[in-house]
Amino acid sequence: MKLFVFPRWTNKIRQIAGLGLGVAPLYLTAIVWYGFSPKTVDAGYMPKQPIPYSHQLHVGELGIDCKYCHNTVDKAAHAAVPSTATCMNCHSRVRAKSPKLELLRESCEWSDETRTCRDDGKPIPWVKVHDLPDYVYFNHSAHVSRGVGCVSCHGRVDQMVEVYQKEPLSMGWCLDCHRAPEQHLRPVSEVTNMTWQAPGDAVEFGTKLRAENNINPPEDCSTCHR
């Protein structure tokens, strides 16, 4: 019987296959690990907004407090996007004819007599930046009223010409803080302060605040998934 022997060149395939089988899992792991991570795919999301509203100008330079516009943030789950009437408090006079604000005036239909907007129910189509999945119930007031600063999750909005998502907003990212909230706690009066620094060691100060205010974030599934 004539024996079958693979031709000599097939030895090369074996080496290449060995290399592939050894390296491919590492490569795939790295691709999935970094490529599919919310840090890669979600953080940095900066959609184009219908009006080129600059937080850098309004917050950073003019010093408007977060809660002037997002006024429900410490009372409700949802941080309100302001009605156009809020914008028109200033923009009925300031830059009232700017072409960039065309959409704002259209939405508002300003009445000089009443000095308010006629509400025709046509809002400005802002694009939501920080969009959690529908199966997550996030409550802004629960966090803000316990001293988690806006900047902790949203970054330095006062420096953003266009708002983008700074953090990954992944479940693991939420749990990082729920398991050790002291790293992000501050006095409730300072939550909207973008530049607040803890006196002394931040974690030590946070631990003190945590004990004083009895802050024990739950980690049950039903805390966020109801």
Partner 1 sequence: MAAISDVNPFVQPPKGDNDFARVTDNVSRIAEVNRPPRAWYIAFGISTSLLGLFGISVAYLFWEGIGIWGNMNPSYWGFPIVNFVFWVGIGHAGTLISAILYLMRQTWRTAINRFAEAMTIFAVICAAVFPGLHVGRPWLPYWMFPIPNQMQMWPQFRSPLEWDVFAVGTYATVSLLFWYMGMIPDLATFRDRSTSPLRRALYGAFAMGWRGSSRQWHRYERAYLLLAALATPLVLSVHSVVSFDFATSQMPGWHTTIFPPYFVAGAIFGGFAMVVTLAVPARQFFGLKRIITINHLELMSKIILATGMMVGYAYGMEFFIAWYSGSAYEGFALLNRAVGPFAWSYWAMIFCNVVTPQVFWFKSMRRNVWVIFFVGVLVNIGMWFERFVIIVTSGSRDFLPASWGYFIPTAWDFATLAGSFGLFFTLFLLFCRYLPMVAMAEVKAFVPAAHASGDHH
Residues that bind partner 1 (CB under 8 A): 1, 3-6, 8, 11, 37-38, 168, 170-173, 175-176
Query: Nearest distance from residue 151's CB to partner 1, in Å?
Result: 23
Nearer to partner 1, 131 or 176 (CB): 176
Query: Nearest distance from residue 222's CB to partner 1, in Å?
Result: 14
Nearer to partner 1, 58 or 178 (CB): 178
Nearer to partner 1, 38 or 82 (CB): 38
Q: Say if residues 149 and 192 touch (Cβ distance below 8 Å).
A: yes
Query: Nearest distance from residue 25's CB to partner 1, in Å?
Result: 13
**Which residue carries 């302060």 as its tokens?**
193
Distances from the Cα of 33 to the Cαs of 48, 167, 173, 194, in angstroms? 28, 17, 15, 32
Q: Could you write out the DSSP letters of every residue in 8-61?
A: TTHHHHHHHHHHHHHHHHHHHHHIIIIISSHHHHTTT--PPPSS---HIIIIII
Beta-carbon count within 10 A of 101 CB: 20
Query: Nearest distance from residue 34's CB to partner 1, in Å?
Result: 11
Nearer to partner 1, 85 or 171 (CB): 171
